[in-house]
Amino acid sequence: MRTKKSFFKILMTFIAILIPWIIAFFLFSDSESKYTKVERLQKINYKVDTILKVDHSKFEILKQEFKRPQDVTNACLSCHNQADHEIMMTSHWKWSRPTITENGDTLELGKKNLLNNFCIGTGSNEPRCTSCHIGYGWKDKNFDFTISENIDCIVCHDQTGTYKKFPTKSGMPVTKPTKFMGKTFLPPNYNKIAQNVGKSTRANCGACHYSGGGGNNVKHGDIAQEHKNVTSEVDVHMGVDGKDMECTACHVTEHHKITGQLYSVSSENKERVTCTQCHADAPHEDEHLNLHTNKIACQTCHIPTYAKVSSTKMYWDWSTAGKHKPNGKGVVKKDSLGNLSYHYKKGSFVYGRNLSPEYVWSNGTASHHLVGDKVDSTKVLCLNKLGGDYNDANSKIIPVKVHRGKQIFDPINQTLIVPHLFGKDKTSYWKNFDWDKASKTGMDSIGLPYSGKYSFLETEMYWPLNHMVSKSDKALSCKECHAPEGRLKNLEGFYMVGRDSNSLLDWAGILMILGTLAGVIIHASIRVISNKKKK
């Protein structure tokens, strides 16, 4: 009787043990079906085109014979008579933005007072640099930013794909066929272009932004020529086989003011483009992933690699520049992928492709090294230090490309030097290969002293990655970070499961268990032996 009864009780006990687990299991599997795909993309913020579609080819004024590109601009402005005022307030025109500094002053922050560790600075190099300015004729520091006709409307609005600015003519197109580095630039057909204008497409934006730093994908690492015809595998948003979104789908534009600011040139956390413009801020089916959004930016997991197609520049050492062969020709070397590894005008490079980002805390702010700021030559100089850390509630971990290099500086004045690189004159580095002369001209052009001594300083620059978002199944898995040698191994100041442990505690714990086990075994052995003796 008793055995039957106790068997039944044991059975009931074990069924009862299982019940909470079964309930817990169903609670969990239920939570996964709570969200639908629709809810994950909660907010749709696409701006609807408010301008009526017009056929520009019907306008008489666009049928005139255009002698200069400025004539096209004047024709545009004759109807779009407020557009020039809008343009003149933008950073695309000014190459600077008003920025409120830490002490409350407003500073125009831009290329005139910021440096990078690519081609360093615009001062004295304008004709080359401003081939990417949305204007005509910015050839030196005396460019007049108030003349409306110098706005280049068509570089952003051409829909024919035929309009090209010449690389070295201060933003001007050519007037007769001209060769540059093996490519022939033709004079634009202004009538055709002016009659075929429209909203900016990725081709317009990409004309400059794909090639920042002087070549394809050099600067950004996540925006490159391949975006012209990119697959969803590479960029889930812009993939032509998928969503096929234009730049302006996210970089929402009103009155020619385009949202989005790059950390290389902007300090304040404003007018940023964010994922949550369209996506919910906790969009995962898995609650645990949603908890991560508190500290981890979307990009961190969803951009597992960058420079997926073409290589991006990771390192640039100016100090080795200037080598020539005995025959007087400059030395040029390439790596196995065909990327430059040395160029006599620019020094040594390291390019990389399919790279894993580095990770830093970011709260959306950056503090920049300005021209004239003192440098500490014993340390690596960060040109745009990103703000934020673990203890800051507004900070998240973001993926960045870090561009490192060595660039010229003045060890006496302890300032970075803006060298005069481009020009056919007697001091430009790319003609004369004399850093001293180039430094003097360059520093003169921005009104800063040069001691006559130069050296090279290690610098680094942070380029947060926001493009080339992968498909969701390619997002980082847990162990990419939650592991002792994971991607976040260099981030300090906080404890992360899987990555961190206290080895003293672990050893103490393991010894405690093993010690107990050993004690148990010894105790049991003595019991067995003493029992046998008794018998």
10 or 41: whose CB is closer to another protein?
10
Q: What is the DSSP letter of 112?
A: T
Q: Can you give the binding site for another protein, defined by CB under 8 A?
A: 2, 6, 9-10, 12-14, 16-17, 20-21, 23-25, 27-28, 286, 288, 291, 294-295, 390-393, 477-479, 482-484, 493-495, 497-498, 500-502, 505-506, 508-510, 512-513, 516-517, 519-520, 523-524, 526-527, 530-531, 534
Q: What is the DSSP letter of 114?
A: B
Output the smallest distance, CB 284 to another protein, in A: 12
User: Residue 534: enclosing H or E segment and its boundaries?
Assistant: helix 503-534
Q: Output the CA–CA distances (angstroms, integers) from residue 310 to 116, 172, 349, 382, in the order listed.
A: 22, 28, 15, 26
324 or 527: whose CB is closer to another protein?
527
Output the smallest distance, CB 278 to another protein, in A: 25
**C-alpha span between 383 and 368 (Å, rounded):** 6
- Cβ-contact 96, 90 below 8 angstroms: no
**C-alpha span between 135 and 189 (Å, rounded):** 18
Output the smallest distance, CB 472 to another protein, in A: 14
Torsion region of 95: left, alpha or beta (phi above 0 gives left; psi -120 to 50 gives alpha): left
**C-alpha span between 373 and 89 (Å, rounded):** 27
Output the smallest distance, CB 351 to another protein, in A: 33
Q: Measured in Å, how far apart are the chain's first and last C-alpha atoms?
A: 36
**C-alpha span between 380 and 386 (Å, rounded):** 15
354 or 501: whose CB is closer to another protein?
501
140 or 389: whose CB is closer to another protein?
389
Output the smallest distance, CB 25 to another protein, in A: 7
16 or 181: whose CB is closer to another protein?
16
Output the smallest distance, CB 274 to another protein, in A: 19
Output the smallest distance, CB 299 to another protein, in A: 20
34 or 329: whose CB is closer to another protein?
34
154 or 296: whose CB is closer to another protein?
296
Position 444, amino acid: D
161 or 515: whose CB is closer to another protein?
515
- Residue 22's Cβ-count burial label (10 Å; 0-12, 13-18, 19+) is exposed
How many CA atoms lie within 13 Å of 364's alpha carbon, on the beta-carbon side? 12
Output the smallest distance, CB 326 to another protein, in A: 57
Residue count of the chain, please give it.
535
